């Protein structure tokens, strides 16, 4: 099962990109003192903008909890060494000795997932790059952490692959029948009667353009097509109404699938959203 990662808070203390460097390692930190500290408090501290002493990390980890506050594509300010910052993914661990084992279990799963994305990255303690005692009690447990992560890496790789596949559902083998009569299409309100927009009653397709429970007209077929597009990852609102957003998406989709780019959802554009591969 993929690790649940909280990305609701983003640090303001980072450099965009990696300065031309590639990710080469993972650096382990700890919070220093655990008395009076909390996971949420550390996230807030590392995310807050300060004129001096600005610092951050990519991840903050405590038992069963992971927060990502800097994107892996960007440089966190954590290691006291510019090159190490540009080439490392940094992880801050909860230093509570009573919860150290549980913290390592969560961290091992995170490392396994990071390696599934970036390859077999070695682990380094913060003190490798800078004169410090960090990561404290975890310094002598990095080999153990590495072994734990390697025991999980195969499962993590499968998990990441499954999550990626789920985010882009495969098309069905066949599409539902096109709901409109021959010569009709889903299109703008300003078009002829054959252009079904869903905005107003259309007596020629009474079973398709209907009244919602909010006493407003909409097209059932158009809403189904919009829902399928949204499931495939397109940014579209499934409201059963043809407007500027739907027209923009239709034209982009038609270009992507080498269809006639006319902004109209006719039988070919209707079927393609089910039968064409997801890219």
Question: Domains in the chain, start-ordered, CATH in brackets?
Answer: 14-167 (3.40.80.10), 185-275 (1.10.101.10)
Sequence-distant (6+) residues with CB within 8 A of 260 are 254, 268
- For residue 164, the model assigns a pLDDT of 46
Strands 88-93 and 59-62: parallel
Q: pTM of the entire structure?
A: 0.56
Residue 96 backbone phi and psi in degrees, to 5? -65, 115
Partners of residue 196 on adjacent β-strands: 186
Which residues in the chain come in under a pLDDT of 70?
1-2, 34-35, 51-53, 152-173, 279
- For residue 52, the model assigns a pLDDT of 65
């Amino acid at each position: 099962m993929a690790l649940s990662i909280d990305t609701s808070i983003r640090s303001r203390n980072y450099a965009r990109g990696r300065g031309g460097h590639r990710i080469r390692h993972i650096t382990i930190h700890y919070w220093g003192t655990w008395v009076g500290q909390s996971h949420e408090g550390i996230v807030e501290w590392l995310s807050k903008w300060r004129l001096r002493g600005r610092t951050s990390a990519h991840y903050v980890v405590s038992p069963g909890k992971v927060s990502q506050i800097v994107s892996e594509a960007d440089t966190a300010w954590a290691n006291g060494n510019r090159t190490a910052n540009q080439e490392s993914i940094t992880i801050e661990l909860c230093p509570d000795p009573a919860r150290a084992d549980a913290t390592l279990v969560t961290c091992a799963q995170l490392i396994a997932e990071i390696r599934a994305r970036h390859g077999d990255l070695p682990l380094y303690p913060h003190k490798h790059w800078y004169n410090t005692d960090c990561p404290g009690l975890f310094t002598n447990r990095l080999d153990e952490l590495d072994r734990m992560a390697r025991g999980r890496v195969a499962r993590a790789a499968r998990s990441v692959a499954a999550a990626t596949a789920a985010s882009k559902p495969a098309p069905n083998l066949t599409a539902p029948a096109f709901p409109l009569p021959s010569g009709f299409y889903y299109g703008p309100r300003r078009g002829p009667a054959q252009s079904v927009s869903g905005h107003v009653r259309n007596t020629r397709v009474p079973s398709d353009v209907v009244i919602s429970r909010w006493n407003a007209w909409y097209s059932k077929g158009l809403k189904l097509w919009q829902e399928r597009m949204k499931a495939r990852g397109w940014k579209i609102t499934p409201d059963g109404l043809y407007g500027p957003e739907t027209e923009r998406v239709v034209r982009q989709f038609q270009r992507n699938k080498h269809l006639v780019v006319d902004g109209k959802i006719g039988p070919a554009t209707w079927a393609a959203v089910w039968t064409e591969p997801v890219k």
